[in-house]
Amino acid sequence: MSEIMIKAECEASISDAELLRAIKQSIEVAKHRLKKVLLLPPDFTRMHSGAGKITALYYEILKDTCKVDIMPALGTHEPMSRQEWTAFFGERVPMDCMVVHNWRNDVVKIGEVPGEYISNISEGLVNEPINVEVNKRLLDKTYNLIISIGQVVPHEVVGMANYSKNIFVGCGGSSMISKSHMLGAFYGMERIMGRDATPVRKVFDYAEENFIKNIPLIYVMTVTTAEEGKVSMHGLFIGRKRKLFEEAVKLSQKKNLVFVDRPLKKVVVYLDEREFKSTWLGNKAIYRTRMAIADGGELIVLAPGVRKFGEDDRNDELIRKYGYVGRKKILELVKKKEDLQGNLSVAAHLIHGSSEGRFSITYSVEKLTKEEVTGINFGYMPLEEAYKMYNPRKLKDGFNTLKNGEEIFYISNPALGLWADRNRFEG
């Protein structure tokens, strides 16, 4: 397969013509022998990744000569609705192509990352082995080609999203999802976000190098930004080799990492209701801003679409039961509570979603009650009341001075970046 790397000049975006040309080139050599292809895009929670457009292009090019299956790399997220499917992939990609990944039941074990290796890369914090499980379709030899599509962007668990994470978490099983999340939580989110060679990434690298070399897989990775809803694709990286991911990481660090000159006293984050329907996803507002917020600061999350806590019913139940009560308390609970021991990804999520008392977190919602929100240890503000003070239509990304003279820092989409005080990030 062709190895392709395109970077747009300065602030420009890769054109549709350049994108189409690259997509065609990536399968040109193999196209004559392709009879069945599996596409692995992200779901609608990565709506600004450019992956929907790329998936649609591959489908259009291949649909007349081979069978195309599309399995969104859901991880633990809920399946895409028809409305989300059409909004993401367009009218020309039929939903009949969709295969739903079930992280609990549709996976097979293909190997194990040894406990000794985990201990070495985690500074002795974790020493249990991790089962490597992937959706059984990835082992289906009737697929001539599997194309993993997604966005490289700062991430709270692995450091930088995409590449093999799309396989081992997006299309992975309970053991890898739970234990990799817990490994990241033990090691410390602030030591991980925005970086490449993290302990969790090393786990994925181990699995990539040892267990899936024989799978006919290529990665299609983007680096994007979005301003006023318009997505700009600054980089496109296609191939199998890790060096392509490393180049994408360097570009994302330039485009998606925002340093602030001083810690921020008040941050207001808007969550697009089409993209964020749970705190499981919406807590990106916390993850991606925590290194920028001052001690004693305040985070207000405008969340019109958030109607639940977990994407999965069981996860939702556990979040409601234990709440975002901080690292120390959750680690104590994990030792005692079997339901958390069996759902380590939830335990990790609860750690990630707490400010550890360093700053306050207020969710402004209309689809959850005050009792529900305060019950998981967040502050509550009615959305209508919040909009009167912080109207997303009138705010611009970055610093804003309100009518009452108060200064806030506004972020319209936390999924596309990482905001940090440089001293905290580099310290």
Domain extent for 299:
259-426
> What 8-state DSSP symbol labels residue 291?
T
Average pLDDT, the chain: 94
- In tens, the pLDDT along 95-117 reads 999 999 999 899 999 999 999 99
| Whether residue 280 is found in the same domain as residue 404 | yes
- In tens, the pLDDT along 33-47 reads 899 999 999 998 888
Instruction: Using the predicted structure, report yes or no on whether residue 403 has a pLDDT greater than 80.
Output: yes
> Residue ranges of the alpha helices (H) in 311-355?
313-322, 327-336, 338-341, 344-352
Length of the chain equals: 427
Kindly tell me if the per-residue pLDDT of 55 is higher than 90: yes
Q: Are residues 46 and 113 in the same domain?
A: yes
Q: Which residue has the higher pLDDT, 165 or 342?
A: 165
According to the model, what pLDDT value does residue 63 have? 94
Which of 225, 255, 285 corresponds to the end of one domain? Answer: 255
**Would you state the pLDDT for residue 422?**
86
Give me the sign of the Cα torsion angle 182, 187, 193, 197: negative
| 315 and 210 inside one domain | no
CATH number of the domain enclosing 276: 3.90.226.30
In this prediction, residue 427 carries a pLDDT of: 58
Q: What is the pLDDT of residue 18?
A: 95
In the predicted model, what is the mean pLDDT of residues 382-402?
95
CATH code where residue 52 lies: 3.40.50.11440
Write the pLDDT tens digit of every residue in 325-337. 999 999 999 999 9
Q: Are residues 114 and 246 in the same domain?
A: yes
Domain boundary residue, one of 240, 255, 270: 255
Burial class (CB in 10 A: 0-12, 13-18, 19+), 200: buried
pLDDT value at residue 195: 94
Q: Is the domain of 270 the same as that of 414?
A: yes
pLDDT of residue 424: 82
420 and 352 in a single domain? The answer is yes
Instruction: Give the mean model confidence (pLDDT) for residues 205-218.
Output: 96
pLDDT tens per residue across span 236-263: 999 999 999 999 999 999 999 999 989 9
Cα distances from 386 to residues 299, 306, 339, 397, 411, in angstroms, run: 12, 15, 36, 17, 15
Q: For the chain, how big is the Rg over CA atoms in Å?
A: 21
Instruction: State pLDDT tens for residues 153-173.
Output: 999 999 999 999 999 999 999
Report pLDDT digits (tens) over 128-162: 999 999 999 999 999 999 999 999 999 999 999 99
**What's the whole-model pTM score?**
0.90
Confidence of residue 81 (pLDDT cuts 50, 70, 90): very high
- The verdict on 374 and 231 lying in the same domain is no
Q: Is 135 helix (H, G, I), strand (E, B) or coil?
A: strand
Cα separation values, 204 from 152, 183, 197, 256, 347, Å: 15, 12, 11, 22, 20
**Is the same domain home to 96 and 141?**
yes
Give the C-alpha distances (Å, rounded to integers) separating 314 from 137, 271, 320, 350, 427.
Answer: 25, 23, 10, 14, 38
Same structural domain, 101 and 238: yes
Element (H, E) at 236: strand 230-239
Q: 1 falls in which pLDDT band (50, 70, 90)?
A: low
The total number of structural domains in the chain stands at 2
Q: Cβ contacts of residue 133 below 8 Å, gap of 6+?
A: 107, 108, 109, 110, 172, 173, 174, 175, 176
Q: Same domain, yes or no, for 268 and 340? A: yes
SS3 state at 29: coil
**Domain boundary at 211, 228, 255, which?**
255
Query: 232 and 284 share a domain?
Result: no
- Segment 349-390, tens digit of pLDDT: 999 999 999 999 999 999 999 999 999 999 999 999 999 999
Residue 51 and residue 95 in one domain: yes
pLDDT at residue 230 is higher than 90: no
